[in-house]
Amino acid sequence: MVVAARERTAQIQRSSYTKYLPAIYADSDFMGRFLMIFESVLGPIENVVNNLAYYFDPDVTPEELLPWLASWVNVALDDSWPVERRRALVRSAVQLFRWRGTRRGLSEYLRVYTGVEPEITEEFGGFPLGEASRLGLNTVLGTGANNVFTVTIRTEDPDSISRQQVKAIIEAEKPAHTAYRLNIVGLDD
């Protein structure tokens, strides 16, 4: 029984690195225990390297690494947001950059930030183009209208959305030649 206990203890304390050694060293108890020193140091590093892909996935990366991952795609995260919203913003960053400067891009960015689909109304001036519109007959182009649009965000709690942050998002995402109006209102308004 004492021999069996000693063999079990030796097996527990033997390094898995011995499988990489020539057979003459792999069978040595001393070498198995000696390599445990290196395995205890390198084991955690191997674990990180083996799972490295997970650190680049915003859905599973540790919460502490989200700001670092966001910096890779040039997205500023608000620490007051729930972690799910921060992950969604980092996940959609590439798609948002693809649509930057467009109505779709601005709408998606604001949806991710506020959790609500914004209403974006473009004001063209002159007559709106519709099915019955005929250029030169009842519609004119280039009336000198300012390129203005209105963003309306309807939410249950308008005070929960930072007006300054929404303005910063719109300023960063809108085309340079445009102006805008922002309305953050309750659902009943």
Query: Are 155 and 184 a contacting pair, CB within 8 Å?
Result: yes
Which pair of structure tokens corresponds to residue 50? 């083996």
Q: CA-to-CA distance for 124 and 130, rounded, in angstroms?
A: 13
Q: Whole-model pTM above 0.85? A: no
Residue count of the chain: 189
Residue 85 has a pLDDT of: 87
pLDDT on residue 181: 92
* pLDDT tens string 46-73: 998 998 899 899 999 999 999 999 999 8
Q: Is residue 4 very low, low, confident or very high in pLDDT (cuts 50, 70, 90)? A: low
State which of 127-131, 134-138, 167-171 shows the largest mean pLDDT: 167-171
Task: Return the closest-CA partner of residue 150 out of 189, 184, 105, 188.
Answer: 184
Handedness of CA 51, 52, 58, 63 (dihedral sign): positive
Domains of the chain: 2-50 (no CATH), 62-98 (no CATH), 102-189 (3.30.300)
SS3 assignment, position 180:
strand
Sign of CA dihedral 36, 40, 45, 46: positive
Instruction: Give dist(CA 60, CA 66) in Å, integer.
Output: 10
Angstrom distance (rounded) from CA 79 to CA 12: 45
Q: Provide the b/e sequence for 151-161 (b: ≥16 CB within 10 Å).
A: bebbbeeeeeb
Asked whether residue 10 carries a pLDDT value surpassing 60, the answer given is no
Distances (CA, A) of 2 to 5, 25, 29, 32: 5, 25, 17, 20
Cα-to-chain-centroid distance, residue 59: 8
3-state secondary structure of 123: strand
The DSSP symbol for 128 reads P
Band the pLDDT of 29: cuts 50, 70, 90: confident
